[in-house]
Amino acid sequence: MKFRSRSIPAVGNGLTNMSAQRSGTHLPMLHLDDNMRNNLVAVLGEFVGTFLFLFWSFAGTQISNTPKPPDGSPPNTSNLLFAALAFGFSLTVNVWAFFRITGGLFNPSVTLALFLVGGLPALRSGLVFLAQIVGGLSAAAVVSCLFPGDLNVETTLGGGTSISQGLFIEMFLTAQLIFVIIMLAVVKHKSTFLAPVGIGLTFFLAELCGIYFTGGSLNFARSLGPAVVNHNFPGYFWIYFVGPLLGSLLACSFYTLMNSMRYQTCNPGQDFNEVEAQSGKDLLLPEKSRKLESPMRAPHHRQNLSEATTVNNDHVGN
């Protein structure tokens, strides 16, 4: 039996090599087999995860909106805070629970973003998209049946927000969420395991500022479910599809620009401990400075500045 051998790539030209190593290793999802079993796990996981995320979010919003405030009323900050906390905590808990199963996407805009940056293959992206839509519909239907009264969790424009304003609010809120997901969860680093916390806080912030004006969708599955259950599709409903779509494209475009400019060389070593920081500093010194160092100094181990460990597939066997 042969085992996977983990190797540290040598550092040749310092930070230039670091950027090249990162670009080839920071999306490990593509190294997994895109077979039927894994796709089935992804579909089931995303359906259940999306359902749980939106179930608790809708339940909290239903409480916050009971009784339903009249149209044109000023913002009730206590109610808005309650609803934003419900969404933020629900996303944090469920992303953390499903992080190692499917990645905890729960949002067609996130699925699109991962596909665009190379984190998901096309087939799985399409299957996950459908699972998220069905999960949103199921969550809205169950909340409508379980809780008394009408379902008051729809995303609608409020506070005098125009359609164009609502579109761009949704775009920028979604772009913030998507960029945080890419940098904290997709690009691997030493604190990736804490990504659900940062993602949940970002979503809480977006909901806190967006609920009053647009309902704080950022997620087509979140808007579609209540609209179908209540049979209510306002003329501007399209902004809850187009806005998050544009936000996803905007975040992916900015990430692609930064990656093409090798952003890793601008402020490297932020994940280093003391030993790695010293070794990294030695590797970043100019060649002339390294030659002037004392020959009696104990050599340091060469560090992988990409902070990633690659898998040598040549040694993988049954």
| Interatomic CA distance for residues 129 and 223, integer angstroms | 14
Nearest C-alpha neighbor of 312 from the set 103, 8, 1: 8
Domains defined along the chain, listed by start: 50-263 (1.20.1080.10)
| Interatomic CA distance for residues 197 and 241, integer angstroms | 26
What tens-digit pLDDT sequence spans the chain (318 residues)?
Answer: 444 444 444 444 444 444 444 444 445 554 556 688 999 999 999 999 999 999 999 999 999 998 888 877 888 999 999 999 999 999 999 999 999 999 999 999 999 999 999 889 999 999 999 999 999 999 999 999 999 989 999 999 999 999 999 999 999 999 999 999 999 999 988 889 999 999 999 999 999 999 999 999 999 999 999 999 999 999 999 999 999 999 999 999 999 999 999 998 998 888 887 787 777 665 555 555 445 444 444 444 444 444 443 334 344 444
CB contact at 8 A, 307 and 189:
yes
Whole-model pTM: value is: 0.78
